Structure 1
Amino acid sequence: MKLIQQQIDDFHREGWLFLPELFTPEEVALLAREAVNIYDANRPEVWREKSGAPRTAFAAHLYNEAFRLLGAHPRMIDPIEQLFGEKVYMHQFKINAKAAFTGDVWQWHQDYGTWKRDDGMPEPRAMNIAIFLDEVLPINGPLMLVPRSQNAGDLKAAHDLQTTSYPLWTLDEETVTRLVKEGGIVAPTGKGGSMLMFHGNLVHGSAGNITPYPRKIVYLTLNAVSNYIRNPTRPDYIAHRDFTPIKTVADDSLIRLARAPRQAAE
């Protein structure tokens, strides 16, 4: 899969690009089922809210076949290699949950700030990919983006260790207000299987979910191989040390797994 020139231009101008329903309902059903199984597991990679609800599950591509295939899927890998002009590796893989009624906030932040401070990533040449596993609605905690804020560069941030169960380098209200006045706020919504890609310096966050509708999203961080991390401080299931370029799988690999006997996906 390749991006057309208009999509490339839109991404470079706005800092994000949304591709609705890139994956089929059959593929999404497989991934959503596997995500629930992972959340139910007692693994160190599964982090929980203070309420006990799942917040994020790291590195599922290393121990689950469905997510291994997703992490090497050409519908995601090809466009990023097209934009970067080189091969990419998996810097981070996580499945974020916004549980019904109890899903917590993600404060305003830039992801590259964390990658630089905590992992020693030289440049913001890593791309965030978000695959919706549930329908993302305006009411169930959609990701909010500040368009064009990637042009502000690497902003000053404070390490928030208190607000949620996940430590984050967050931005102050004055900075966010200034950037929102310049670029506004968008909250891409869509059905399961939709894909959102956004620049590592794009300011983003999300509100809590007090609705009955859960919201699960797979987030992959694909880093240019030449931009590998130099000084990781986080566990390797959070910031991977394997810089091998991703070799893509067949486009129909998830469909074939979904149609295989059930034990093949476990």
Structure 2
Amino acid sequence: MQSTDLYPTRRFKEPRLVYRTEDPAVWGRPGEGPLTEEQLDTHELDGFTAIEQLLEPDELAAAQTELNHLLQDPALDGDERVIRERSTDEIRSVFDVHRLSSHFAELIRDERIAGIARQILGSDVYVHQSRVNYKPGFGGAPFEWHSDFETWHAEDGMPRMRAVSLSLALTENYHFNGSLMIMPGSHQTFVSCVGATPEDNHKASLVKQEVGTPDHDSLRMLADKHGIHQFTGPAGSAIWFDSNCMHGSNGNITPFPRSNLFIVFNSVENALEAPFAAEKHRPEYLGSRDWQVLR
């Protein structure tokens, strides 16, 4: 049976703002994982937690080697999990990396990663989605402002805001090569978007998202209220952020590529249902319906 839809979207003629009252950003407590009480409090307030250095140099080098292997693997030519830039045909994203790569599958089970996900969500977790975002130099396109939860709710059937994402930098993230931007505190407001979901919307939205992106007035209101924080840092640094954070990134016209490992953890108590605003759910590599607990 479908849950009550607390976050209706893509069904009204005008955008609406729904204030988050049911779902905390932090479900766990200090002592239940690696994060301190101060870090958890900040995560609840801002919706994100930055980690200066998650990987040691040798771990980072191994992850970069694995990234290059995925980007050059001829076996993935024509695979639907590989998304290419519209203008240059260069790789934009490779999805399902925890299934394609035993190295990344092992890495995300590390207590520094899986342990934080369990602590923030206050339960066992599984991988809802994994990918490498590769923003090449001289042509990496932007990612429009959006809340991930809006899409996961509308098209995957995620009922509640009990998911958290990890963005792990595999290259230097400068302020000029398309690094992540977040509106701090925006996770407390759900923006209901306008426009029905087209059939197989993911085939277009993974290259350039249009349906499921907020209107300019809502974005302006959130930006005026919360401001915009841009994340920069060396390879090996990381950001944890709430599923409903309003975020995006500029394009990359510099010679310096930006690559990040992106893992979405969902609580096993928040398993997917039927989509709330689409005729059918997206493919498994975008919204996993294999709720195997991550050990």
Asked whether the two chains share a fold, i.e. TM above 0.5, the reply is yes
1:81 equivalent to 2:118? Answer: yes
Structure-1 residue corresponding to 2:207: 165
- Residue by residue over 1:120-150, the C-alpha shift from the partner in whole angstroms, topping out at 9 and shown as x without a partner, is 0010101011100001011100110000001
Identity %: 31
Deviation of 1:231 after TM superposition, in Å, equals 2.3
Structure-2 residue corresponding to 1:258: none
Worse-superposed segment, 59-68 or 136-145: 59-68
2:164 partner amino acid: M
1:219 equivalent to 2:259? Answer: no
> Are the aligned partners of 2:143 and 2:209 in contact in 1 as well (CA < 8 Å)?
no
Structure-2 residue corresponding to 1:261: none
Matches within 5 A, 1:117-196: 117-158=154-195, 165-167=207-209, 169-196=212-239
Structure-2 residue corresponding to 1:9: 41
1:68 equivalent to 2:111? Answer: no
Deviation of 1:63 after TM superposition, in Å, equals 2.1
TM-score by structure 2 length? 0.80
> Are the aligned partners of 1:87 and 1:245 in contact in 2 as well (CA < 8 Å)?
yes
Deviation of 1:166 after TM superposition, in Å, equals 4.4
- Residue by residue over 1:145-180, the C-alpha shift from the partner in whole angstroms, topping out at 9 and shown as x without a partner, is 000001113532556966872445211111111101
- Residue by residue over 1:179-233, the C-alpha shift from the partner in whole angstroms, topping out at 9 and shown as x without a partner, is 0100100011111111101111110000000001100001111000010111261
- The 2-side partners of 1:132 and 1:186 are apart by 17
Runs of 4+ deviating beyond 2 Å: 153-164
> Are the aligned partners of 2:191 and 2:214 in contact in 1 as well (CA < 8 Å)?
no
Gaps of 5+ in 1: 248-266
Alpha-carbon spacing, 1:224–1:145, altered in 2? closer, same or farther (3 Å): same
Structure-2 residue corresponding to 1:241: 289
> Are the aligned partners of 1:16 and 1:198 in contact in 2 as well (CA < 8 Å)?
yes
2:81 partner amino acid: E
1:46 to 75, 82, 107: 82
SS, match of residue 285 in structure 2 = coil
- Residue by residue over 1:57-114, the C-alpha shift from the partner in whole angstroms, topping out at 9 and shown as x without a partner, is 0011112121111222211111121122110000000100110111001000000001
Alpha-carbon spacing, 1:189–1:78, altered in 2? closer, same or farther (3 Å): same
SS, match of residue 221 in structure 1 = strand
Q: Which has the higher helix share?
A: 1
Gaps of 5+ in 2: 1-32, 276-280
2:150 partner amino acid: G
- The 1-side partners of 2:191 and 2:137 are apart by 33
2:63 partner amino acid: L
2:52 partner amino acid: P
> Are the aligned partners of 1:60 and 1:94 in contact in 2 as well (CA < 8 Å)?
yes
> Are the aligned partners of 1:145 and 1:203 in contact in 2 as well (CA < 8 Å)?
yes
TM-score by structure 1 length? 0.88
1:102 equivalent to 2:150? Answer: no
- The 2-side partners of 1:118 and 1:218 are apart by 23
- The 2-side partners of 1:150 and 1:163 are apart by 22
Structure-2 residue corresponding to 1:229: 272
2:49 partner amino acid: L
- The 1-side partners of 2:237 and 2:47 are apart by 17
> Are the aligned partners of 2:109 and 2:294 in contact in 1 as well (CA < 8 Å)?
yes
1:26 equivalent to 2:26? Answer: no
- The 1-side partners of 2:183 and 2:248 are apart by 9
